[in-house]
Amino acid sequence: MTFAEQILQGIPDKLPNRKPIPKDSNRAPKRKDVLSEAEKKLAIRNALRYFPEAWHEELAPEFAEELKLYGRIYMYRFKPDYKIYARPIDSYPAKSLQAAAIMLMIQNNLDPAVAQHPEELITYGGNGAVFQNWAQYLLTMKYLATMSDAQTLHMYSGHPMGLFPSSKEAPRVVVTNGMMIPNYSKPDDWEKYNALGVTQYGQMTAGSYMYIGPQGIVHGTTITVMNAFRKILPKGETPAGKILLTSGLGGMSGAQPKAGNIVGCITVCAEVNAKAARKRFEQGWVDVLIEDIYELIDRVKIAQSKKEVVSIAYIGNVVEVWEQFDKANIFVHVGSDQTSLHIPWTGGYYPVGCTFEDANKLIKDNPEVFKQKVQTSLKRHAEAINKHTKKGTYFFDYGNAFLLEASRAGADVMAENKIDFKYPSYVQDILGPMCFDFGFGPFRWVCTSGNEKDLDKTDEIAAGVLEGIMKLAPEDIQLQMQDNITWIKNAKRNKLVVGSQARILYADVEGRAKIALAFNEAVAKGVIGPIVLGRDHHDVSGTDSPFRETSNIYDGSKFTADMAMHNVIGDSFRGATWVSIHNGGGVGWGEVINGGFGMLLDGTKEAEKRLQNMLFYDVNNGIARRSWARNEGAIFAIKREMERTPNLKVTVPNLVDNALLESLF
C-alpha cells in the first residue's frame, strides 16, 4: 500500500502482525502499577473498543501484557510501517489544505529525530504525548485526510471524538488534553486515568502539534542565559570563559548546550540517560561527551583558562557535578536545572547514587523507595547549590518545578519569610519584565513545502520586518528588538533545524502581525509555499502557571486560569486553524493551564484577515491581564496599543500609594 492508502484506511481491515520494538529506540520509563484488578480490566475494555470484536480474543492478552510491562497500553502492533516525519504538504491525502498542514505537524511531533520516546508517541518532557496509543493516531490521520473545510475534528486527550459540522471560519481541530475536574488533578490521578486510557499529558506543544524540535526552546534559553549573564557581569564583559551549569538533555532541555554556545560561554550539562546525551552529541547540539567526573573537572579548567566557547555533556548526575565543582573550587557563574521535575516519580528526575537502569527498575517495582530517593537527592542537590550561591553563583529556577519539588522534599530552598523561594524563577527575573510584559514571546513558523530555500526566504523576510520596526520602536523595547534581529540573522549558521523546516523568534504583536502578513503575501506571489504559524504556549497570553509564566504576577491572580481559557476561546473564533488547551505542561499536572494555536497562511485574503484579527488578540489578551496586575511594562505596552488601535478599550489599574496601606492595619 502507498503512504496515502495507509493514511486513508485508518484502522486496518486485517489484524496486523505484532511488531518488535526497535532495540535502539529511546524508550519511555515504565509507569507505576497503579490500577486495581477491576481497573485493569476496564483499561483493556477501553482499549479494545477501537477494534472489531473478532480481534478481541487475540488483542486482550497482548494489551494486558503491555499494561503489566509498561504501565500503559500503547498498541505497538498498530504502529504504521511507513516512516514518520514532516513530509511536504502536498504529500498528504487531504480534501482540506488546513487539515494537511495539521497532519504534517503531527508527523513532525512523532518523527524519531524529534520525539523523545517515539514508540510511545511521546514528544518531550518524559510524558508529553501527542496520542495515548497508535489506534488514536491512525484514526486521527484518517479523519484529517477525509474532512472538509466545513467540519471540525474534536480531540479529547488524544482520542478523536469525531468530525462535527461547523463552518469555514471555525477551527479545523479543537484539542484538549488532561482537562480534569479540579479535585482529580493530582499527579497520582494522571497515573490512574492515563493508565485507564481516558486522558493524557499533552505538555505544551506536544499534544498541540506545535513542537519544532529543540530549536523551539533554544531561542528562549538563549535570551534567558544571555540576560542572566548581563545581570551579573560588569558592563562590556562577555560570557567567554564563564560557566553555565545545568542538567537535562532530553526533549526541551536538550537545547541548553546549543544556547550556551550561541551566548558564548562554557556550558556543562549533566544527563543520566546516555542515549539522550549521545543523541544530542550526534545531532551537533553538544560539543564534548565526558563520563568521568574528574575528566570533566580537568576539561572545564582548560576551557576556563582558554576562555573557550564550548558545551560539555556529562553522562552522570548533576548533583555530583555541583558537589565536585565545589570541592575543586570551580566557580559557577550561572546555574539552573532542566530535568523534568513536573513528573518527579516517573522518570523526570533521577536520584544521585542510583544508576539510570536501577532507577527505572525502582520506578516500576518499588515506587515508594524511588520517591524517597528522589526527595533525598533533591535535598542534597539544593544543599550543593546553596554552597555555590554563597560564593556568588546566580541560580534561577527554570520553570521545571525544581524549587517546588525541592521545597516539598524539605530542602533548604525557602526564603526567610517561609513563603517565597530563596531563588527567583527565570520569568520573575528575566522573561516576565523584559519580554512578556511588553508582548514579546516565542513566535514560530513552519515551511510546509519542506524546502530549505523557503526557510531561508522567511528568515530574510522576518529580519527585514524587524529592522523596519526597530527604527521607530521606543527605547523600552530596543534591546529585545536587537537581540531578535541578531538571532534571526544567525539562525541558519547555528544549524537549528531538526525535523520540519521551522523557525522561532521573539516578537511583539506588531512584529508578529507584520511578519505574518509579509509571509502571506510571499505565499500569494508564489515566492514560498504555505506557512504554518504558531507559538510556544510559554508566552505572553497562553499560559497561567504560578511558578513559571505568571510568576511575576503579584496581585494574587497568578493562581487563576482565566487568561489561558480566554486565550484559546478568543483565538478559536478569530481565525485559528486549530486551537488547544491543556492541563499540565512545563511545571506539572495540576500546576498549570496552557493554550496554543496553529494557523495556516495560504496566501489568500481570508488568511490575511484571520492573521491580523487573531494575532492581535492572542498577544494583547495577556498584556491586558499583566497590566491589570500592575506590571509596569505591561501598562506601558497596553496604553501604547490603545493609542495605535482606537477600537481597543482595556481597563487600566489605578495605582495606590503604599504609605496609605501601611496605616490601615
**Pick from 150, 165, 196: which residue ends a domain?**
196
- Nearest alpha-carbon partner for 293 in 261, 259, 330, 263: 330
406 shares a domain with 457: no
Using an 8 Å Cβ cutoff, are 440 and 507 in contact? Answer: yes
The enclosing H or E element of 482 equals helix 478-490
Please give the pLDDT value at position 252. 63
C-alpha to C-alpha distance for 316 and 447, rounded to whole angstroms: 38
DSSP code for 397: B
Q: What is the dihedral of CA 100, 101, 105, 107, to 10 degrees?
A: 20
Are both 183 and 311 inside the same structural domain?
no
**C-alpha–C-alpha distance, residues 638 and 622, integer Å:** 10
In angstroms, the first-to-last Cα distance of the chain is 76
Instruction: Tell me the per-residue pLDDT of 225-243, one tens digit each, with 9 for 90 and over.
Output: 999 999 999 988 999 999 9
User: Are residues 230 and 94 both part of a single domain?
Assistant: no
Round to whole Å and give the CA distance between 16 and 20: 12
287: phi then psi, degrees, rounded to nearest 5: -85, -40
Rounded-to-integer distance, Cα 447 and Cα 534, Å: 12
Asked whether residue 419 is assigned to any structural domain, the reply reads: no
> Residue 422: inside a domain, yes or no?
no
Which CATH number covers residue 558? 3.40.1770.10
Domain end position, chosen among 149, 170, 196: 196
Asked, for residue 427, whether it belongs to a domain, the answer is: no
Contact 195, 34 (CB under 8 A): yes
Residues that constitute the known binding site: 125-126, 203, 271, 398, 586
- Measured CA to CA, the distance from residue 323 to residue 330 in angstroms comes to 10
How far, in Å, CA of 506 to CA of 217, rounded? 11
Q: How many CA atoms lie less than 13 Å away from 271 in the CB half-sphere? A: 29
List the grid coordinates of 59.
Answer: 488483542
Residue 630 CA to residue 658 CA, distance in Å, equals 13
Same domain, 113 and 141: yes
What is the grid cell recorded at 97?
489544505
3-class SS at 444?
strand
- 311 three-class SS: strand
- Same domain as 409, residue 296: yes
Q: Are residues 64 and 159 in the same domain?
A: yes
**Nearest partner of 566 among 602, 600, 605, 617, judged by Cα:** 617
Summarised one tens digit per residue, pLDDT across range 571-630 is 999 999 999 999 998 788 999 999 999 999 999 999 999 999 999 999 999 999 999 999
Is the same domain home to 563 and 629? yes
On whether the CB atoms of residues 158 and 131 are closer than 8 A, the answer is: yes
447 is in which domain, residue-wise? 432-659
Beta strand 531-535 pairing with 441-447: antiparallel
Query: Do 260 and 396 belong together in one domain?
Result: yes
Residue 226, C-beta contacts closer than 8 angstroms, at least 6 positions apart: 239, 263, 483
Q: Are residues 380 and 443 in the same domain?
A: no
Distance CA 441, CA 637 (A): 14
**Backbone φ and ψ of 385, nearest 5°:** -65, -40
Q: Say how many domains are in the chain.
A: 3
Residue 612 CB neighbours (<10 A): 16
DSSP 137-182: HHHHHHHHHH--TTEEEEEETTEEEEEEE--TTS-SEEEEES---G
- Which pLDDT does position 251 carry in this prediction? 64
3-class secondary-structure state, position 519: helix
280 in the same domain as 132:
no
* Residue 479 covered by a domain: yes
Q: What is the SS3 assignment for 197-231?
A: CCCCCCCCCCCCCCCCCCHHHHHHHHHHHHHHHHH
Residue 189 in domain? yes
Quick check: is 57 in a domain?
A: yes
Query: What pLDDT sits at residue 24?
Result: 80
Closest CA to 469 of 505, 495, 436: 505
Instruction: Tell me the backbone φ, ψ of residue 298, rounded to 5 degrees.
Output: -60, -40
| Phi and psi based region of residue 474 (left: phi greater than 0; alpha: psi -120 to 50; beta: remaining) | beta
Binding residue numbers for NAD(+): 125-126, 203, 271, 398, 586
DSSP 8-state assignment for residue 421 = B
Residues of the chain with pLDDT under 70: 251-253
Asked if residue 522 is part of any domain, the answer here is yes
Q: Is residue 421 part of a domain?
A: no
Question: Residue 347's pLDDT is what?
Answer: 87
Within this chain, do residues 403 and 260 fall inside the same structural domain, yes or no?
A: yes
Residue count of the chain:
665
CATH number of the domain enclosing 409 = 3.40.50.10730
| Domain edge (last residue) among 413, 440, 465 | 413
My answer on whether 189 and 294 are in the same domain is no
